[in-house]
Amino acid sequence: MADKMIVELENVSKTFRIYRERRDTLKELLLFRRRRFDELMAVNDVSFTVQAGQTLGIIGQNGSGKSTLLKLLSGIYIPTSGSVKIGGKVSALLELGAGFHPDLTGRDNVYLNGAILCLTRKQIDAVFDDIVAFSELEEFIDQPVKNYSSGMYTRLGFAVAINVDPDILLVDEVLAVGDQHFQSKCYEKISEMQYQGKTIIFVSHDLDAVRKVCDRAIYMENGVILEDGMAATVIGAYRSSIADKDLDYLEGRENKERERLGTREAEITKVELLNAAGIETLGLESKERTKLRLTVDFHADARDPIFGFVIDGLDGKNVYGTNTLWRGVKTGLFKAGQTVTVEFQQDMRLCGGEYLISPAVAYPDATRYYDWRTNVLSFKVRDDGTMMGIANLDSKIVITDSDSGKNILSC
């Protein structure tokens, strides 16, 4: 069944009518007033096929048509034109626990939701214990789900959907919920399903998850497929297009500087980031030779001030930092009225993402600051889509046959 096409979309379009005013009442119907509406092409002439056993990620920004596409695949929406062919049993996780009724117990809801996903009572009986075990809700299964926390609700919903044993699993962003422990269980279950040769179509904003899970990805924008191919390549293309947009945004945004500490006897008056070509920018390629240039005005005499900077991730985690003190350098005497530029030159061996820069000038004992500008700059790094994490370690991958010593592959 390896080459069997299990999902076939042919020139599928979906148009929504956005009515300028609502007509819900019979009175307005009887008046036969034509409602004016705008047409919105949520999905525009999309064609692709998915092989049985493939895991396909669909990525794109909000409003790009991803979820509409998933609803077309699950049969909730009927395409305006084109055809959708599905060759198997579909289980859709568009919203976990969508079929739950708050007044019914967890047990009743498992049966109800299982039936919605087209299972017979016997089939549910057979997997009921698995479902409860997976959701870890043994103690609460006979309580009405309205008493559940949202995490419990989600866990039960996921446990049901995943135990339905579908041929095709459609997942819409639902894995983002739940704690770390449950998420990793979900991913484990997904890879188990992959191993069993199930087809999975996965919509997510979590690009690392898409890369981890999917062997193929589709990048959508404005209802059109822009890229379709290997997950890593498509994610790379998506990242760079996002980075371009974000850059415009970053440049238009006011300084995100949160905190500025210090006596200001020495003042950092200008912070610039220069790319390899020496042009000021907020967008860098990974490994690009970069200069961070500070302009410092001294308003009082200063002996051996420390110059340094820190790069942080958006999560506040330190990525890198250095200063003159740690290098064992005494910087000497600076006179009041003097202005200097301090340049930190380095290769930005970072993975794609957004980072923050905080430069500082400190007293020689490193306990007080002349000027510490927290998160004064944020910049974007773009990588080629072959990596994840923070550091770009520039790996080389070599595969050698152990017996012959022959090189099979290096990249």
Partner 1 sequence: MFKKAAEIIKYRELLINFVIKDLKVRYKSSALGFFWSLLNPLLMMLIFTFVFAHVFKLGIKDFPIFLLTGLLPWNFFNMAVAGGTASVLANAALVKKIYFPRELLPIAAVLAELVNFLIAMALLFIFLAIYGYHFYLYVPLILVAIVIQTLFTIGVCLFLSGVNVYFRDIQYIVNVVLMALFYATPILYNISMVQKITLFKTYPWLLSLYQLNPMTPYMIMYRNMMYEATWPSWTALGVAAATAVAALVVGYLTFKRLAPAFAEEL
Judged by beta carbon, residue 98 or residue 391, the one nearer partner 1 is 98
CB 201 within 8 A of CB 68: no
Measured in degrees and rounded to the nearest 5, phi and psi for residue 137 equal -115, 30
Judged by beta carbon, residue 158 or residue 309, the one nearer partner 1 is 158
Residue 386: Cβ within 10 Å count: 16
Instruction: Please tell me whether residue 129 adopts helix, strand or coil conformation.
Output: helix
Judged by beta carbon, residue 37 or residue 249, the one nearer partner 1 is 37
Sites of contact with partner 1 (CB under 8 A)? 16, 24-27, 29, 71, 74-78, 90, 92, 94-95, 98-99, 101, 103-104, 108, 111-112, 115-121, 144
Q: Measuring CA to CA, which residue among 285, 190, 245, 236 is closest to residue 59?
A: 236
Min dist. Cβ of residue 118 to partner 1 (A):
7
Judged by beta carbon, residue 175 or residue 360, the one nearer partner 1 is 175
Tokens of 223: 């209802």
> Which amino acid is it at 296?
V
Min dist. Cβ of residue 143 to partner 1 (A):
13
Helix 150-162 vs helix 121-135: crossing angle, to nearest 10: 130
Judged by beta carbon, residue 104 or residue 237, the one nearer partner 1 is 104
Min dist. Cβ of residue 177 to partner 1 (A):
15
What is the C-alpha to C-alpha distance for residues 159 and 152, in angstroms, rounded to an integer?
A: 10
Min dist. Cβ of residue 275 to partner 1 (A):
47
Measuring CA to CA, how many Å separate 326 from each of 9, 228, 361? 60, 48, 13
Min dist. Cβ of residue 30 to partner 1 (A):
10
Tokens of 24: 């819900």
Min dist. Cβ of residue 68 to partner 1 (A):
10
Residues 3-30, buried b or exposed e (16+ Cβ, 10 A)? eeebbebeebbbeeeeeeeeeeeeeeee
Judged by beta carbon, residue 53 or residue 79, the one nearer partner 1 is 79
Judged by beta carbon, residue 109 or residue 378, the one nearer partner 1 is 109
Min dist. Cβ of residue 240 to partner 1 (A):
34
Judged by beta carbon, residue 84 or residue 266, the one nearer partner 1 is 84
What is the C-alpha to C-alpha distance for residues 19 and 177, in angstroms, rounded to an integer?
A: 33
Q: Measuring CA to CA, which residue among 136, 161, 137, 132 is closest to residue 147?
A: 137
Torsion from C-alpha of 147, 152, 156, 159, nearest 10 degrees:
-170
Residue 190: Cβ within 10 Å count: 21
Min dist. Cβ of residue 276 to partner 1 (A):
50
